[in-house]
Structure 1
Amino acid sequence: MLNTLKAVWILFWAALLTLILFLPIVAAALAGRSGNAAFHGTQVYAWCMLKLTGIRLKVSGREHIDPTQRYVILSNHASYFDPPALVLALGLQYRWVIKKELRKVPLFGLALETSRNLFIDRSKGSDALESIKRGVAQLPEGTGILMFPEGTRSWDGKLLPFKKGGFVIARDGELPILPVTIRGSHDRLPKGTAMFSPGLIEIIVHPPVTTAGREEREVREEVKGTIEGAL
């Protein structure tokens, strides 16, 4: 009972924090065409959320990141804690490629849209990928994209099959892929529950994977093996 009351109390403050920071983030997004200011706003929000919920981050491999390089960042996904953890851990500007359904979420969807993130309609197949490619080309120089190649959170923390979209975008744009493994987030907040537990989440940044001149399937298998090997 005590744990439930504590969770409700923290969720209340999390909701209040969302309302307080929502308007500044949207205002920053509308004031700047690049979305960079809004991204910094989401970093503040992510820091507050993780502190509030008792989440600690341990990051390794950040030396593999070239801050001037545009990457297609691909990560496993098992928890709602994954996005704020990545925003803080990577230390570089990027935009999310997000399923279009999230655009309809009150407040959250507006913040995502005004922050220059890219929405994908997965029902449109190749047309959707072409739209994302055009969106990537219009991002500020050095700003990459982040995708969850599984497409959704896994129930047990284990990897789901990888969809090919992110790999096609990287290959056709001749962009390197930055594989990232998130470890421990499923234990903190599993899919299907609002009950979380404070603790450690590890972010492991792997060396970039080149895509130019390579088959999509070959790259996909390499990246999946790299991410899975660190779980």
Structure 2
Amino acid sequence: MGALEEVIRGGSASALWISSLPLTSLRIALTSESPDAARELIAAHSRRFLDICQIKVNVSGAPPEAGVGCVVCHNEASFVDVAAYLSVMWPYVDRAAGADLYAVCPFMRTATRKAAIELVPRGNRSGTERLIEKAVKAVESGERMGWGGEGRISGQDGVARFKVGASLVAIRSQAPIIPLMIYGGHRLLPLGSIRARPGEIHIHFGTPILTKGLDDTDARELADKTQAATAEMYAQFREQCGHAGT
């Protein structure tokens, strides 16, 4: 019955997350008077999903200090990685970027705006450039910007190729980019599955990578360097959790 219970648990958690998301978004749009208030509702929504799945989140490493502008760039292999991020990251980032895909949910654009979450328009270069420039100004003012390096949920047991968006923000603001590794989602609730295995998601802050003196022509190299650092941490955590070679 173990596998069946895990399917029922994951299926019910996913159904509840999807069905209640419009209501959570509406509540944020109507009641949240600050980004912190909006984010707490987002975090609570994500925690409910994780609790039903019996998944805990562990944060380690040295997070960036408040008031020191930087870009925190992460990977995500499964939707449960996204839920883990949304449940715990708000003390460590002041603004975040997410896929414009979430805007299909009713009231989501207003909700994300109140939570200081920028929606990245896919396939719209001018729109993406405007968002990057807005993020640059935020980082220059001392905000910590959270950004998904892969630009999507990868669905693989590892770190996919990072896009250059986070690197451009870091370079143009001359702020450090901090690799943030998320490990565990692919094993606990793989993309495309509803079987939720109990366990733990690990979120680890890596060593900041400095950008002083870099320009836009260095963005690809910086993205590759950030990806490599994240992949190295991912491999280390896979080994520490006893999953190497499995």
TM bin, normalised by shorter chain, reads 0.7 to 0.9
Cross-structure match for 1:137: 137
Measure, in 2, the Cα distance between the counterparts of 1:166 and 1:100: 16
Conservation of the 8 A alpha-carbon contact between 1:64 and 1:208: no
- The 3-state SS of whatever aligns with 1:168 is helix
Other-structure match for 1:151 = 151
| 1:100–1:120 contact (8 Å) kept in structure 2 | yes
Name stretches of at least 5 consecutive residues in structure 2 with no aligned partner.
235-246
Q: Give the structure-2-normalised TM-score.
A: 0.78
Question: Which secondary structure does the structure 1 equivalent of 2:210 belong to?
Answer: coil
Count of residue pairs brought into register by the alignment: 230
Residues 42, 87 of structure 2: 8 Å contact kept: no
Kindly state the Cα deviation for residue 115 of structure 1 after the two structures are TM-superposed: 2.8
Residue ranges of structure 1 left out of the alignment (5+ in a row): none
Q: How does 1:4-43 map to 2 (within 5 A)?
A: 4=4, 7-8=7-8, 11-12=11-12, 15-16=15-16, 23=23, 26-31=26-31, 34-43=34-43
> 2:76 aligned with 1:73, yes or no?
no
Partner of 1:224: 227
Amino acid of the residue matched to residue 122 of structure 1? R
Q: Tell me the secondary structure at the aligned position of residue 161 of structure 1.
A: coil
Please tell me the residue identity of whatever aligns with 2:225: E
The separation in 2 between residues aligned to 1:22 and 1:123, in whole angstroms, is: 25
User: In 2 relative to 1, CA 108–18 (structure 1 residues): closer, same or farther, beyond 3 Å?
Assistant: farther
RMSD over aligned Cα atoms: 3.1
Query: Offset of 1:227 from its aligned partner?
Result: 0.3
What is residue 85 of structure 2 aligned with on the other side? 86
Cα distance in 1 for partners of 2:68, 2:83 equals 22
Matches within 5 A, 1:82-231: 82-90=81-89, 91-106=91-106, 111-125=111-125, 127-134=127-134, 137=137, 142-214=142-214, 215-231=218-234
Counterparts in 2 of 1:204 and 1:9: CA distance versus 1, 3 Å: closer
Distance 1:223 1:67, change over 3 A: same
The two structures have a TM-score, normalised by structure 1, of 0.82
Q: Secondary structure at the match of 1:193?
A: coil
Q: 1:50-65 alignment to 2 at 5 Å?
A: 50-61=50-61, 63-65=62-64
Deviation at 1:152, TM superposition (A): 1.8
